[in-house]
Amino acid sequence: MDGRELQPDIMETNPDNCNFIQNNNNNNFNHGPEFKRKRKKKMFYKDKEKQKQSLVTSGTQFIRVFQKQLQNAKASKEETLHYMQRVLHSIFFFGHINHPQIKPEEFIPTDKLETYKRVFQNSFKEYNTHFPRQAPYSILLEYMTKVNNTGNPESLMEKLVELNKSLRTLNEEGEQVVANYFDFSASVVTQSYIKDPNNANILECFYGASLSCKGETQRKIMIYISALYVWDKAISYVVSCGDTGHGIVFPEDVHCKAYRFTTEINGYKEIPPCVKCHKMFITNFDPEYEVVKKLQPWRYGNCAETESLSKLLQGSLEVRNHLHTFGDNRQPMSREDIEKTFTAKHEGSMREKLANCLASRDFRVAPCDWKFFTPGT
C-alpha cells in the first residue's frame, strides 16, 4: 500500500488552503527574475534620488556658508562677486554632470533665486558650457589663504575648522551631520612650502585641497580638466603615468604636510602621504611616509598634495627648473623632457577620455570649443 493513500487530501480537509497555495505560488512568481529586476531598478532610482537630494543640500549649504564668510571678512563688492560667481558656477557644473542632473535653481532658496540670477548671471548661463578651474572647496581655500597669513598654518586650520562646522546641517531625524563631507567638502588640506636652507624659515607656502566632488565620473572629469589645463605639466605628467611611472624629484628645500579633517575631534590631524603620493612626489613629507599593505582606492590626482605642489611649481621658477624624473630606461628627464613626454604620450588620450566622460553627462560642447568660466564684473 502506498503511504500516500493514508494521508487525507489537503485540499478536501481544508478548502482555505487553496488560498494558501495560490498565495504561495504568487509569492514564488513575485520573487522571480522579473520581480527582482524591477525591485533592483526601483532601489537604484531611490538611491539616485537620495544622492541627488544630498548633493542639493550640500550645495545650498556651501553657498550659504561661503557667502557668510565673505560678509564676515568684509570682502569688497568686486571680491565678493568674483568668488561667489566661481563657487556658484562650480557647484552648478557638478550639478549638471550629476546623474540625475540638478538644475542651478535647485541649489538656491526660492525667495533668493531672482536676486541670484540677476547678480550672478554668468554662473547661471555658463554652467553647462564652460569648465570650472577648481572644485568648490579649493576656491574657498584660495580665498582663505588670501585673507590669512599663509605662513601660519595653525591659524588657517582654525578658521577652516569653523567653516567645516558651519557646513553641518540637520538630517530628517534632527541629528547633526556633515552634509558636505562627501559632496563639496575636502577631507584633506595640504601645505607645500619652501624652507630657507640657512635658517629653516618658510619662504613660500602654497595650499591645496583634495577633490571636493562626489562621484567617480565627476572626479575623473575634474582630474582630466586639471591635468590638461590647470596643473603644472610636471604634475600632470606624473599623475598620467600612475603606476607605470617614476616619481618627480623635488629640490631638497621643498616640504609637504597634509592635514585630514575628522569629525571625531572636530579638527585637523597631521597625516603621512598615501602610497600614490609617496610614489609620485619625491620630496620631504611631514609626517614621513608609513608603509601600508594595500593601495588606497582613490584615483591618481585626487589628493590635496597634487594641487598644492602644482601651485608651488607655478609660483617658484627656481623649484620648477630644478626638478627631474626618470624615463622608462632610467635615464634622467629634465623639466623640458617631462613636458614634451606629457604632450606626446598622454595629452591626446586624456582629452579623448575627458570628451567621453563629458558626453556621458550631457555636456555637449565639442573639444575644439572647450572654454573656462571667467567671472564677470
DSSP per-residue codes, 328-371: TTS-EE-HHHHHHHIIIIIHHHHHHHHHHHHHHTT----GGG-E
Alpha-carbon span 194 to 200, nearest angstrom: 9
* pLDDT value at residue 356: 96
What's the CA gap between 278 and 272, in Å, rounded? 9
Helices marked H in 230-273 — which ranges? 233-241
Cell, residue 230: 590647470
The confidence score (pLDDT) of residue 154 equals 83
Contact 209, 284 (CB under 8 A): no
Exposure of 255 in the CB half-sphere (CA atoms within 13 A): 16
The total of other beta-carbon atoms located within 10 Å of residue 298's CB is 13
The H-or-E segment that residue 57 falls in is: helix 33-72
Beta strands in the chain (DSSP E): 130-131, 168-170, 176-178, 188-195, 202-209, 248-249, 254-262, 267-271, 281-282, 284-285, 325-326, 332-333, 371-372
240: number of Cβ within 10 Å:
23
Q: What is the DSSP string of 113-148?
A: HHHHHHHTHHHHHHTTTEE-SS-HHHHHHHHHHHHS
The CA–CA distances, whole Å, from 43 to 39, 52, 289 equal 6, 14, 41
Looking at the chain, the whole-number percentage of residues with pLDDT higher than 70 is 83
Phi then psi for residue 287, to 5 deg, are: -65, 160
Contacts of 306 (CB under 8 A, 6+ apart): 208, 226, 231, 235, 239, 277
| Annotated domain spans of the chain | 46-181, 186-362
Q: Which residue has the cell 597634487?
A: 306
Task: Return per-residue pLDDT of the chain as tens, 377 residues.
Answer: 333 333 333 333 344 444 444 445 455 445 677 665 666 555 555 567 888 988 999 999 999 999 999 999 898 999 999 999 999 999 999 999 999 999 999 999 999 999 999 999 999 999 999 999 999 999 999 999 988 766 678 888 899 999 988 887 655 555 555 554 458 889 899 999 999 888 878 888 999 999 988 889 999 999 999 999 999 999 999 999 988 878 999 999 999 999 999 888 888 999 999 999 999 999 999 999 988 777 778 899 999 999 999 999 999 999 999 999 988 777 899 999 999 999 999 999 999 999 999 999 988 899 999 999 999 86
State the amino acid at position 370 in one-letter form: W
CA distance 259 to 268: 6
Exposed / middle / buried, residue 58 (Cβ in 10 Å: 0-12, 13-18, 19+)? buried
pLDDT at residue 46, rounded to an integer = 58
**Chain centroid offset of residue 14 CA:** 63
Between the two ends of the chain, the Cα-to-Cα distance in Å is: 99
User: What is the pLDDT at residue 172?
Assistant: 52
